[in-house]
């Protein structure tokens, strides 16, 4: 494949797979001039032979790695959210049709793209995902311990602390009611719980340490209710936020603005859209709940007067939104 054979290439779409990539390219007249399947390891050698053009990549695993690799080669990668690629799909689903849709979407001048993440952002994002998985597993383990105890006719009040304090007491005082096998099962689950507590603490401390040294995190933590977890999660997701023109654009991306269904000059707003990052949205809602639980601090915030009036006329859930 000679580079001169594709001098007229204007855009290329890449459908990223685990081991193979599918490429479809268009020239300036909109004609398809490239249709090729390559191995992942042949990415660099293949694009070294192609002219410098726009390369569309659907947002997915390894999209940021591929984008950085192509940018080093002088190309113009664009990471496109899957929801914006879907309208360009034609025919039945296959890898080449997906790549063609990505190539067409990449040519749209007003299409919103995903900001390319640095390796530091990906590392920080990985820490949050590990912590989130551990917290989820810990919750499942605690719920299983509670379920097994209920099967033995033993109930414990809500909260991790209440169960942790009373667990050994229950095993000692109710040893006649709990079979030896069930006792060993419960002890094993309790050991898993303690191990996950240690892992969560380790990952949390690493995230907090990053928040104290990362300038963007320090700036974000000046906002009331924002601490190390939310600030680092935001930096991992959006970097410096250059993809957004205003704060409301970021709120729309997270999914915290009302869903709009307006027509004929009539504006109809519904519930929040819940689009974008579910993890970030959960953290923001938790932070809002913490602020609402401390009304004596509201006067310290610039939005304190508004929050006081809002709390008088609406439910707490509405004030959070």
In SS3 terms, 74-132 reads as: CCEEEEECHHHHHHHCCCCCCHHHHHHHHHHHHCCCCCCCECCCCHHHHHHHHHHHHHH
Residue 66 lies in a domain: yes
**pTM of the prediction?**
0.85
E strand or H helix at 283, and its extent? helix 278-292
Residue 124 lies in a domain: yes
What is the C-alpha to C-alpha distance for residues 233 and 211, in angstroms, rounded to an integer?
A: 10
Q: Last residue of some domain: 193, 214, 235?
A: 214
> Does residue 205 sit in the same domain as residue 157?
yes
> Does residue 225 sit in the same domain as residue 197?
no
> Does residue 125 sit in the same domain as residue 199?
yes
E strand or H helix at 169, and its extent? helix 160-173
What is the C-alpha to C-alpha distance for residues 26 and 33, in angstroms, rounded to an integer?
A: 6
What is the C-alpha to C-alpha distance for residues 59 and 57, in angstroms, rounded to an integer?
A: 6
Per-residue pLDDT of the chain (321 residues; tens, 9 = 90+): 445 555 678 899 999 998 999 999 998 888 899 999 999 999 999 999 999 999 999 999 899 999 999 999 999 999 999 999 999 998 889 999 999 999 999 999 888 888 899 999 999 999 999 999 999 999 999 999 999 999 998 989 888 999 999 999 999 888 888 899 999 999 999 999 999 999 999 999 999 999 999 999 999 999 888 999 999 999 999 988 888 888 888 888 888 888 888 888 888 888 888 888 899 999 998 888 888 888 888 888 877 787 888 787 877 666 665
> How many residues would you count in the chain?
321
> Does residue 194 sit in the same domain as residue 257?
no
Residues in contact with 29: Cβ distance below 8 Å, sequence separation at least 6, in sequence order: 8
- Domain residue limits at 183: 119-214
> Does residue 31 sit in the same domain as residue 55?
yes
Domains held by the chain: number? 3
Are the C-beta atoms of residues 148 and 140 closer than 8 Å to each other?
Answer: no
Residues in contact with 128: Cβ distance below 8 Å, sequence separation at least 6, in sequence order: 207, 229, 232, 233, 236, 279
The pLDDT, as a whole number, for residue 61 is 86
Are the C-beta atoms of residues 33 and 25 closer than 8 Å to each other?
Answer: yes
Strand partners, 58: 80
Are the C-beta atoms of residues 292 and 316 closer than 8 Å to each other?
Answer: yes
Q: Smallest Cα–Cα separation from 220: which of 284, 316, 300?
A: 284
Strand partners, 260: 269
Q: Last residue of some domain: 178, 198, 214?
A: 214
| DSSP-based three-state secondary structure for 20 | strand
Residue 114 lies in a domain: no
> Does residue 19 sit in the same domain as residue 101?
yes
Q: Last residue of some domain: 214, 248, 281?
A: 214
> Does residue 178 sit in the same domain as residue 227?
no
Residue 127 lies in a domain: yes
What is the C-alpha to C-alpha distance for residues 161 and 181, in angstroms, rounded to an integer?
A: 25
């Amino acid at each position: 494949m000679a580079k001169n054979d594709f001098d007229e290439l204007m855009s290329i779409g890449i459908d990223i797979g685990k081991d193979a990539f599918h490429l479809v390219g268009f020239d300036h007249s909109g004609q398809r001039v490239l249709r090729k399947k390559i191995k992942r390891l042949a990415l660099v050698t293949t694009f070294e032979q192609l002219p410098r053009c726009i390369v569309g990549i659907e947002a997915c695993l390894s999209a940021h790695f591929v984008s950085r690799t192509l940018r080093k080669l002088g190309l113009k990668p664009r990471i496109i959210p899957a929801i914006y690629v879907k309208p360009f799909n034609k025919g039945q689903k296959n890898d080449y049709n997906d790549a063609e849709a990505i190539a067409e979407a990449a040519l749209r001048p007003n299409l919103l793209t995903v900001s390319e993440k640095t390796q530091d952002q990906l590392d920080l994002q990985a820490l949050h995902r590990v912590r989130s998985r551990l917290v989820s597993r810990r919750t499942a383990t605690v719920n299983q311990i509670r379920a097994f105890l209920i099967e033995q006719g033993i109930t414990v009040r809500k909260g991790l602390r209440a169960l942790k304090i009373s667990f050994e007491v229950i095993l000692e005082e109710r040893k006649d009611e709990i079979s030896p096998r069930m006792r060993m099962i419960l002890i094993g689950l309790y050991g898993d719980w303690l191990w996950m507590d240690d892992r969560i603490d380790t990952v949390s401390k690493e995230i907090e340490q990053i928040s104290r040294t990362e300038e963007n995190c320090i700036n974000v933590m000046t906002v009331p209710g924002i601490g190390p977890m939310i600030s680092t999660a935001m930096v991992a997701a959006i970097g410096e936020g250059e993809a957004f023109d205003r704060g409301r654009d970021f709120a729309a991306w997270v999914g915290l603005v009302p869903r709009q269904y307006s027509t004929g000059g009539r504006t109809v707003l519904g519930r929040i859209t819940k689009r974008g990052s579910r993890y970030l949205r959960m953290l923001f809602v938790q932070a809002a709940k913490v602020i609402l639980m401390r009304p004596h601090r509201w006067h310290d915030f610039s939005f304190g007067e508004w929050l006081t009036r809002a709390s008088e006329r609406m439910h707490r859930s509405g004030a959070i939104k």
